Amino acid sequence: MANICIKPTRLPHPLCINPKNQSSSYAARAENYESREELLMRIFIQWAKRTRSVKQRLIVLGMGAVIFLAFIPLILIGLMTKIDAVLGVRNLLFSRTAVVIGVLLMIIGGIIGMRTVMIQFTQASGTPFPFMPTQRLIINGPFAACRNPMTLGTILAYLGLSLLIGSLTSILTVVILATLLLIYIKRIEEKELELRFGVEYVKYKAATPFLLPNVLTLINKTKQKRRFEN
């Protein structure tokens, strides 16, 4: 059999690659990523603009109530306390201060949450959930104090429950989940709101805190509203 000689293929050295080709490749990837992000955002906006009936919104609120008022609290009370016991984490149950603060946070968070849901349902034909959002921008009520009152109320209520049951694992879980939720709102939901409501939301965003209300600003707004009404 005749010997076959195969010449080795020489690969270009990384330093010899044309930087223009590299930059164009990176630019193409970035453009492709942006086009995908824009496409997903357009689909989300089209979905958000759909009008839902009262019955559909009530069904979604009922499902949300089961999840957020029953399922999640049961996990925090049952599972997290057991994890505390396994890890040998000190329980805060016998701290009177923790109990008092926990009850207050639950009451405040519950009031904020209920008020927010009522306004979203009655004034803007929507719900607190991203897949069935409000159909118009709300800037009154709790939304005059911060841009995300539902998130604020939920965090306060779950932190209060965690303090009430004295579970350090539960507190840590709430903090981690709240952080992830805030990142989602900041990076995705606010972009969608800017595209859907335009300049109106941009002005509202510039004048209203993201999560923690500015007490002095809120007092001034209340005074101005009373003067205008009088």
Tally of residues, the chain: 230
Q: Is residue 178 part of a domain?
A: yes
Q: Is residue 16 part of a domain?
A: no
pLDDT in tens, 160-184: 999 998 888 999 999 999 999 999 9
Q: Is residue 88 part of a domain?
A: yes
The predicted model gives 128-136 an average pLDDT of 90
Supply the DSSP string of 24-48, one letter for each residue: HHHHHHHHHHHHHHHHHHHHHHHHH
Question: What letter would DSSP give residue 125?
Answer: S
Q: Is residue 30 part of a domain?
A: no
Number of domains in the chain: 1
pLDDT in tens, 191-220: 999 989 999 999 999 999 999 998 766 666
Q: Which residue has the tokens 């101005």?
A: 224
The predicted model gives 112-135 an average pLDDT of 93
Q: Which CATH number fits the domain that encloses residue 104?
A: 1.20.120.1630
Q: Which domain holds residue 182?
A: 37-225
| Contact in structure between 71 and 143 (CB atoms under 8 Å) | no
